[in-house]
Structure 1
Amino acid sequence: MAKIAAGMDTSPTNSSALPAHDYSVLDFPHAKSIPAATKNLLQTDDDGRPSRTGTVWTASAHVITAVIGSGVLSLAWSIAQLGWIAGPPILLAFAFVTYYTSSLLADCYRSPDSNGANRNYTYSDAVRAYLGNKRTVVWICGLIQYVNLIGTAIGYTITASISMVAIKRANCFRAEGYDAPCHVSSDVYMALFGAFQLVLSMIPNFDRLWWLSLVAAVMSFSYSSIGLGLSIGKTIEKGFVSGTISGYAASSSTEKTWLVFQALGNIAFAYSFSMILIEIQDTLKSPPSENKTMKKASLLGIAVTTSYYMSVGCIGYAALGNDAPGDLLTGFGFHNPYWLIDIGNICIAVHLIGAYQVFCQPLFAFIEAWAVQKWPKSEVINHDYRIPLPFSKTFKLNLFKLLWRAAFVVFTTIVAMLLPFFNDIVGLLGALGFWPLTVYYPISMHISQTGLKKWTRKWVALQALNMGCLLISFVAALGSVAGIVIDLKKYAPFQMG
């Protein structure tokens, strides 16, 4: 949930907690001219911003919270497409690549080199500092991040509705018997989810509510642990390990190829956190140097996450075999322990209700700041209407914010209704974000930072890694798009499921 909370925020995060704080008192152009005594009184760093208090432990906790999310639910399905021989090694390979490139990215927190005086507060700042002469590259970086935000909002709408449908169907089966049809439309729950987001989108400074990260962490670990526990229980109950060395036997080699490609995208999505690494690093106190602390935190966080992913993915596959569903929690049917499965699905829904806003608030802020700059004299964009509320402060309503945010929520809800394909969307998001944000930009910035010459051994190795990951992202995107096309042939929107 915290993945993009700070990642695209225009206000840098400089405390040990990821949600942004109000720096309006200190964040002005001449902050460096503040007298030393005043800085000490206000507990600020030398750039006039609030002092950072993060440690390797807080940073690793942020990494774990950022990485472990709804993507974990698709890992058993992903391994089912790859089989026992390829599945676990590919999980480990993604972990290694993510850690290696995150180490390169950690060195880019400061410029003009890893020990430089200038701090880069966000991922985009780092790209601009090291690749700023290539304006198209910086622009594309921002575009990719915002496209991922929009895609994530759509994906979260789909995932939350799947969980709510599962709860409704479980209650129906228990009330009417397990032979009852119990058809439930996911559209109703997508609309309900969208209605929640319409209300939450109007809350001022929603992205600055500190408890969101805590709720995200608790919910993520809760439903992931429930899935793991159910998998262990089912494997013990059966008395044998399911699955095959080559995975799911598709009806044709073409279908098998698309499914394997899609599985790669799902795994890539599960490991994506690089886009907020710089923001996490900006919470770390110094000394010791931030890059050294961040590398330790990344190693610890990715090690814990990989252990968890291996457990959930592999044990889930062992329990459910080649029939493992896209969403792990839906693979245990609607029988006992029904209450535990319901709790898991409730945790997913609660997590994603807040996560949707955390991911979208930076996009809201970006568009609104752009509009103010573009039309500074517009009454619609710049005027706030004060609405008195009982037992509360006066609520400020901005007509442009109301219309723009409502339009965005309606758009993501409608797209989710038209494309309610969990694994396809997750795979596509992973494919779009993995290569550029996790691999290409960190490698390019490292080469620029170190002045690495072309055709040296390290340069060739880095470019080989770069091209290999580009190929993986490309085929993962192809597989996901093919999956969407295939599913659209069988899916009639706005029908009872």
Structure 2
Amino acid sequence: MGSIRTVGEHFDEDGRQKRTGTLMTASAHIITAVIGSGVLSLAWGIAQLGWVSGPVAIIVFSIITYFTSTLLADCYRSPDPVSGKRNYTYMDVVRSHLGGINVTLCGLAQYCNLFGITIGYAITGSISMAAVQRSNCFYGHGHQAKCKVNNNGFMITFGCFELLLSQMQNFHQLWWLSIVAAVMSLVYSTIALGLSISKITGGGDVRTSLSGVTIGVDVTSTEKIWKTFQAVGDIAFSYAFSTILIEIQDTLKSSPPENGVMKKASLVGVFTTTLFYVLCGSLGYAAFGNVAPGNILTGFGFYDPFWLIDIGNICILIHLIGAYQVFCQPIFQHVETQANKRWPDSSFINKEYVVKLPILNQNMSINLFRLVWRSIYVIMTTVIAMILPFFNDFLGLLGACSFWPLTVYFPIEMHITKENIPKWSFRWLMLRILTLGCFIVCLVAAAGSIRGLVQDVEIYKPFRT
């Protein structure tokens, strides 16, 4: 990483470029990460769970996420949470507090999850672009038109956007993109709310119930169980920001203390998103009932006003373009840091070339290794998304696999170690029960999503359907 520079106007005490992040930018990063494609599947999720279990599950996951995020925020510096040594990544935090095999398991869980999320965002971004085309087709040819659309071209277009943006060096240069993406997420969530309210006030025969979809009418008893598991996974995915919490915290100014600012940012982010989640999910279920689509803005329970649906899907696209970068930056940084350590004298890996952008009249730093490796990553995620474009099942599996280890297990284990909580004490028992309960929930959610993916694969033809 180079020699440690003198602390001064442009550098922090660890010799790295001075961090300038604030409560606003951290909150924007969190909202960008949390209010993602998951919000659009919540009406479907509540349809599977019903009026009681659906909203309760959303609120419970939000409380758990906020609680564990406060524990994780205190681990950024060690041993003291205010003046200790910085840990730049989630793996560094686990290495400082737990060590051993936990570091490897954390890295595996984090980077596999981030990789999966970027694939999921490529899928969802293309679905939104296709939805705009279908919406215009319905408007031009009537609601009975077939309007079939192949998503592959849109996935390639999404990948082209990410090829350009992936050359941003780090999180510090993404603050403006996260703010734009956060605004877009609030806009399309508001549009989904407005359309749901409009459909509710317009009347119609909509079936809802306290327990969700009805056995024998909407689904079989077996399907009810599996879809319930999958819905829980979708809700868990909707709160998956602990994966990048430490990387976001590493962008904050050192004064006031980073852990205090991060806790406030987590509260702002989780409260804002939970409010939208409960409203979007509940009103979406009230509007569509037990036949709520998996993606409320692309399931086309709405046709008119078509221009508003188009705006909503364009906002989704802009948000996901930014969210993709927020989630893939930790992977980029990890690979490039390891390459720098292994080959410190390689000009291909370490040399920066300054290129002047004629239109913007600004200088841009180009690194050949960064250019090649990040381009390969984007191309790889795009191709996988084209092969396996399954929206709801993919979201559920990602949520199930990432929520327990990264949002619950590691933060709680590090808190127990750091605070020296006595074994078998009341506090120790409550934390262990929380860990075990979340593990069981995520296990059944993963099973439901895997079953859904197996069913999708049986009828899917790659690159064609």
Q: TM-score, normalised by structure 2?
A: 0.88
Note closer, same or farther for the CA distance 1:340–1:150 as it changes in structure 2 (3 Å cut).
same
* Structure 1 position 408, deviation (Å): 2.3
Note the 1:98-117 alignment, pairs <5 A.
98-114=65-81, 117=84
Q: Deviations over 1:456-492 (max 9, x none)?
A: 2211111111111111121111111111101111222
Summarize the alignment of residues 136-175 of structure 1 with structure 2, pairs less than 5 Å apart. 136-175=101-140
CA shift for structure 1 position 188: 2.0
Paired with 2:119 and 2:387, the residues of 1 have a C-alpha distance of: 10
Give 2:87's match in structure 1, choosing from 117, 120, 124: 120
CA contact (8 A) 1:265 1:431 kept: yes
Deviation at 1:400, TM superposition (A): 4.6
Residues 1:96 and 1:240: Cα distance change in structure 2 (over 3 Å): farther
Of 84-93 and 299-308, deviating more is 299-308
Change (3 A) 1:55 1:246: same
Percent identity (aligned)? 57
Give the aligned residue type for 1:29.
Answer: I
Residue 29 of structure 1: aligned partner? 4
Amino acid at match of 2:435: N
CA, structure 1 residues 320+468, in 2 after alignment: closer, same or farther (shift >3 Å)? same
Partner of 1:17: none
- Equivalent residue letter for 2:244: I
Distance 2:255 2:119 in 1: 41
What one-letter code is carried by the residue in structure 2 that aligns with 1:268? A
From the superposition, tell whether residues 155 and 457 of structure 1 become closer, same or farther in structure 2 (CA, over 3 Å): same
In 2, the alpha carbon distance for the partners of 1:110 and 1:70 equals 32
Once the two structures are superposed, the pairs formed by residues 230-241 of structure 1 within 5 Å of their partners are: 230-238=195-203
Specify the SS of the correspondent of 1:244: coil
The answer to whether the aligner puts 1:493 opposite 2:462 as a matched pair is yes
The CA deviation at 1:436 is: 0.8
2:398 maps to 429
Structure 1 residues 352 and 63: alpha-carbon distance in aligned structure 2, compared to 1, 3 A threshold:
closer
**Kindly tell me: are residues 360 and 64 of structure 1, through their superposed partners in 2, closer, same or farther at Cα, counting changes over 3 Å?**
closer
Of 161, 168, 176, the residue aligned with 1:211 is 176
Q: Which residue number corresponds to residue 16 of structure 1?
A: none
Q: Does 1:472 align with 2:410?
A: no
| Deviation (angstroms), 1:176 | 2.4
Maintained 8 Å contact 1:320/1:331: no
Q: Which of 285-294 and 365-374 deviates more?
A: 285-294
Alignment of 1:81-480 (within 5 A): 81-114=48-81, 117-132=84-99, 134=100, 136-202=101-167, 208-238=173-203, 242-249=207-214, 251-282=219-250, 289-333=257-301, 335-375=303-343, 381=349, 400-480=369-449
**CA contact under 8 A between 1:242 and 1:317: conserved in structure 2?**
no
Q: CA deviation at 1:113?
A: 4.2
Give the aligned partner of residue 7 of structure 1. none
Give the direction of change, closer, same or farther, for the CA distance of 1:207–1:175 in structure 2 (3 Å limit).
farther
Contact 2:29 2:175 (C-alpha < 8 Å) held by counterparts? no
2 CA distance for matches of 1:276 and 1:410? Answer: 22
Consecutive unaligned residues of structure 1, counting only runs of 5 or more, are: 1-23
| Rounded Cα–Cα distance in structure 1 between residues aligned with 2:258 and 2:160 | 42
The residue type equivalent to 2:291 in the other structure is: D
Q: What is the one-letter code of the residue matched to 2:54?
A: G
- Per-residue CA deviation, residues 92-138 of structure 1 (Å, 9 max, x unaligned), is 11111112212222322332244553333433332222112x2x211
Contact 1:148 1:429 in 2 (8 A): yes
Query: Cα 1:64–1:447, aligned 2, differ >3 Å: closer, same or farther?
Result: same
Structure 2 CA distance, aligned partners of 1:109 and 1:396? 29
2-structure distance, mates of 1:200, 1:118: 31
**Counterparts of 2:120 and 2:260, CA distance in 1:** 35
Aligned partners of 2:322 and 2:302: how far apart in 1? 26
- Cα shift at 1:276: 3.1
Query: 1:295/1:400 Cα in 2 relative to 1: closer, same or farther (>3 Å)?
Result: closer
Q: 1:203: Cα distance to partner?
A: 6.0
Deviation at 1:275, TM superposition (A): 2.7
Per-residue deviation, 1:334? 5.4
Deviation at 1:267, TM superposition (A): 0.6
Cα separation, 1, equivalents of 2:369 and 2:18: 35
Alignment equivalent of 1:481, drawn from 424, 441, 450: 450
Amino acid at match of 2:121: Y
Query: Is the 8 Å Cα contact of residues 121 and 279 (structure 1) preserved in structure 2?
Result: yes
Residue by residue over 1:137-159, the C-alpha shift from the partner in whole angstroms, topping out at 9 and shown as x without a partner, is 11221222211221112101110
Listed one character per residue, the Cα deviations across residues 345-365 of structure 1 (whole Å, up to 9, x for unaligned) are 111112222332333233233
Q: In structure 2, the residue corresponding to 1:492 is in which secondary structure? A: coil
TM-superposed CA distance for 1:260, in Å, is 1.1
In the TM superposition, what is the alpha-carbon distance from 1:233 to its structure 2 partner?
Answer: 1.0
How many residues are matched? Answer: 461
Distance 1:215 1:395, change over 3 A: closer
C-alpha distance 150-296 of structure 1, shift in aligned 2 (>3 A):
closer
Q: Distance in 2 between matches of 1:204 and 1:285?
A: 19
Q: Quick one: distance in 1 between partners of 2:255 and 2:166?
A: 39
Shift of residue 171, structure 1, vs aligned partner: 1.6
Separation in structure 2 between the aligned mates of residue 450 and residue 268 of structure 1, nearest angstrom: 27
Residues 336 and 115 (structure 1 numbering): CA distance in 2 closer, same or farther, change over 3 Å? closer
SS in structure 1 of the partner of residue 298 of structure 2 = helix
Distance in 1 separating the partners of 2:364 and 2:60: 50
Write the deviation string for residues 245-288 of structure 1: whole angstroms up to 9, x where unpaired: 22123533222222111111111111122233334444556666
Q: Amino acid of the residue matched to residue 201 of structure 2?
A: I
TM-score by length of 1: 0.83
Inter-partner Cα distance in structure 1 for 2:37 and 2:31: 13
Opposite residue 216 of structure 1, the aligned amino acid is: A
The aligned amino acid for 1:456 is S
Cα offsets for 1:301-358 (capped at 9, x unmatched) = 3223212211111111111111111111124445210000000111111222233233
Deviates more, 1:295-304 or 1:445-454: 295-304
Structure 1 letter corresponding to 2:411:
P
